[in-house]
């Protein structure tokens, strides 16, 4: 049975941080492929690129810390006007 992130209660780290176990299966042209297990939620996902790997880590940190996604976007914000 596949778990969904919304259904899994997250364990809060005692000291802080988010914990992962990463297994790298392949490295081709500076690109990683493997499996990442988010130890705080017992979820495991395969990643197909280094970018996907980093995005999974970033999303898990945001979810665990209940922080809004802080990625820069093209959405116009009046406080971020270009000169």
What is the percent of the chain where pLDDT is above 70? 60
How many Å apart are CA 13 and CA 2, to the nearest integer? 24
Task: Give the model confidence (pLDDT) of 40-61 as tens digits.
Answer: 888 999 999 999 999 898 888 8
Nearest residue to 17 (alpha-carbon basis) of 54, 70, 61, 63: 61
Q: Phi and psi (nearest 5°) for 45?
A: -135, 145
State the chain's mean pLDDT as an integer. Answer: 76
């Amino acid at each position: 049975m596949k778990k969904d992130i919304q259904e899994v209660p997250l364990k809060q780290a005692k000291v802080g941080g988010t914990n992962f176990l990463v297994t790298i299966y392949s490295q081709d042209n500076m690109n990683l492929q493997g499996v990442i297990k988010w130890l705080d939620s017992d979820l495991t996902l395969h990643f197909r690129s280094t970018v996907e790997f980093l995005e999974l880590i970033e999303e898990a940190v945001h979810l665990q810390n209940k922080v809004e996604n802080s990625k820069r976007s093209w959405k116009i914000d009046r406080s971020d006007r270009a000169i």
